[in-house]
Structure 1
């Protein structure tokens, strides 16, 4: 440790990662998140900071020559046994202690409120931010409230069955966990906590390309019979993309969800501003790479902006998994996807994190169903999913009535995980189950197959100036964008 500590400058920078010692001097200028992040842990063990946003195998991108040695195993074990809890972990535990008890959470908004307490300012900025003015972020929720239910009465709803199939696989309700990046920003278990929650509640989980956990860790945590899909960001290096797909298939993933709405990640100003404040040098420093980008853009520079419809046959040629395009936002592209022969699409605006004023997923769903019908695409040729803004069981019902097979949910489960771990994930999903059962019973639909378009009035879903009553829960939780503070 003393030897490592002697290499703690910009000109000579060693860092310990998972008990291996790396010389990162020449990597400083190329680190997507900027040199300042690495220099914070120069000459020390940077595992905790590294593991929060990288899977363990991320170090494989470094040349072999970067590894200059390994800590003696006995010495490393003794050091860990005697080491105090990491200061950041201490702070996290203190924040967790201030959260309300899990039993006090009665809806998904309660988990978001708890997460504001549980998360560090940096993690909250990354998880909660939307693109530009965050209009789409807010409208994802508001759009559901422009759709009204049309209940049926005098129907035998003594028994209500909310189970269904997603890509042919059984699910306890029409819900899957959507891919979200950097799970360990919120909880030390990261995406594995989501895996456990999905296993307990018997719903599929979509594994993210930009996970904090490795693909092996996430698939090893899978229970017997548990269904996992793989979300893919297409890299500019086609061979690398092929390796990712084959690895996911070899590890038992049952579907390939290709993200198509991110040739470049959007400007998420809360995240950008927090990263700027966190890493702004005390004196003028030339290591400013990435300081104006935020965590999201810093980790995603590999994404290929040239992805096109002509690439679909290539994906077909290298995998047997069903192919779903994630991020369709209009009827025209839904029709193109059907003609391209993919197995499904996800109507989504990336949680309002890409193009501001893009339509919500539920609005794009309604438009796409109409466009597919007009184009003569047979119902059932392609499965339709949507995500963004789902916070109630009634939202799931509305999406199914408009033609969705199931819905994805991401951020609310990150919030539940951040405050309460996998127990929070399970409770959040159970709340949605209970709400969906209640909705189906009151709507006179004893099974998922009984839910039809006539059960909703969606004429106002595309009207963005309607006087919908204010949602006090979401408005109270929303943190507005702020301007830079004066030095005075």
Structure 2
């Protein structure tokens, strides 16, 4: 029997082996040379932890509350499209796994099951990704991306099938050389300015429980993971999603213990050192 995957990277490799190339490329593709996609992950590597010893971490509590709903850990499942391309049970399997893990799946507008079907699949809190596409009075206009980039693997997969099409994607598929989600230029002062009035959730590049810890230390209340969940779904269906989520929770628990944090409220900016911190220390 093959050894159990012990990292998101191992789940990704198994997903690559299990899925048709076009399906795998759909989930892993990003703009042009994948710079922003890679940077979202590698930026976490440049943040180091500052451990705390002689703290009572005999019991580590990861529980949190977001918008009044309790969660077992600050790790949610991000809206990702077309789960049936990874597994025939698609979003139904993902939603059930999320409920078992006492977290939530944010259902994508591009779900391969209807809202009603996913809602009926389990007894859980329901979150939904919504793009308002009908005429409304403008309150806030999102200008995140007016011009979209190329997703090269998808173009290769579709070569010869269609022509004169423009493919637009979101997130790391939009801009080839955008800054990572926690780049200083995004001004993390905004996180502190909201003063806890709204929850700050970080999405993008989370591949380890240490990444979750770093995001929390920088001011996020919780994170969302997308691709790692899809990899688990592709490899083992509902069980694979549970394994990925549990793996991230176990890693977060260990990181909290090594950092001397018995609960989420003990995690602070003092527990991490960013590249900007290191540069400032040399001035």
How far apart, in 1, do the equivalents of 2:83 and 2:278 lie? 33
| CA deviation string 1:303-360 (max 9, x = no partner) | xxxxxxxxxxxxxxxxxxxxxxxxxxxxxxxxxxxxxxxxxxxxxx82x211122122
TM-score, normalised relative to structure 2: 0.90
- Which position in structure 2 is the counterpart of 1:233? 131
How far apart, in 1, do the equivalents of 2:110 and 2:143 lie? 15
- Which position in structure 1 is the counterpart of 2:158? 275
- Which position in structure 1 is the counterpart of 2:262? 446
Evaluate the alpha carbon distance shift between residue 372 and residue 387 of structure 1 in structure 2; reply closer, same or farther with a 3 A threshold.
Answer: closer
5 Å matches for 1:91-240? 101=2, 104-223=4-123, 226-235=124-133, 237-238=134-135
Is 2:176 the counterpart of 1:356? Answer: yes
How far apart, in 2, do the equivalents of 1:135 and 1:398 lie? 21
Unaligned runs of 5+ in 2: none
How far has the Cα of 1:164 moved from its partner?
A: 0.7
SS in 1 for 2:52: coil
| CA deviation string 1:19-66 (max 9, x = no partner) | xxxxxxxxxxxxxxxxxxxxxxxxxxxxxxxxxxxxxxxxxxxxxxxx
How far apart, in 1, do the equivalents of 2:277 and 2:129 lie? 28
SS in 1 for 2:10: helix
Q: Is the 8 A contact 1:131 1:267 kept in 2?
A: yes
How far has the Cα of 1:173 moved from its partner?
A: 0.5
Evaluate the alpha carbon distance shift between residue 371 and residue 411 of structure 1 in structure 2; reply closer, same or farther with a 3 A threshold.
Answer: same
SS in 1 for 2:127: strand
How far apart, in 2, do the equivalents of 1:383 and 1:184 lie? 30
Q: Is the 8 A contact 2:32 2:152 kept in 1?
A: yes
5 Å matches for 1:355-374? 355-363=175-183, 367-371=186-190, 373=192
Q: Is the 8 A contact 2:56 2:262 kept in 1?
A: yes
Unaligned runs of 5+ in 1: 1-99, 240-257, 281-287, 301-348, 464-488
SS in 2 for 1:106: coil
How far has the Cα of 1:259 moved from its partner?
A: 7.9
SS in 2 for 1:176: strand
How far apart, in 2, do the equivalents of 1:197 and 1:125 lie? 24
Number of matched pairs: 276
Evaluate the alpha carbon distance shift between residue 430 and residue 197 of structure 1 in structure 2; reply closer, same or farther with a 3 A threshold.
Answer: same
How far has the Cα of 1:397 moved from its partner?
A: 0.4
How far has the Cα of 1:389 moved from its partner?
A: 1.0
| CA deviation string 1:79-113 (max 9, x = no partner) | xxxxxxxxxxxxxxxxxxxxx74x52011111101
| CA deviation string 1:363-400 (max 9, x = no partner) | 26x84322455xxx351122211111111111100000
Q: Is the 8 A contact 1:196 1:422 kept in 2?
A: yes
5 Å matches for 1:291-306? 293=167, 297=168
* Bigger-Rg structure (1/2): 1
Evaluate the alpha carbon distance shift between residue 460 and residue 208 of structure 1 in structure 2; reply closer, same or farther with a 3 A threshold.
Answer: same
| CA deviation string 1:399-447 (max 9, x = no partner) | 0000000000001111110111010000011111111111011100000
- Which position in structure 1 is the counterpart of 2:236? 420
How far apart, in 2, do the equivalents of 1:215 and 1:435 lie? 32
Q: Is the 8 A contact 1:108 1:412 kept in 2?
A: yes
Evaluate the alpha carbon distance shift between residue 378 and residue 140 of structure 1 in structure 2; reply closer, same or farther with a 3 A threshold.
Answer: closer
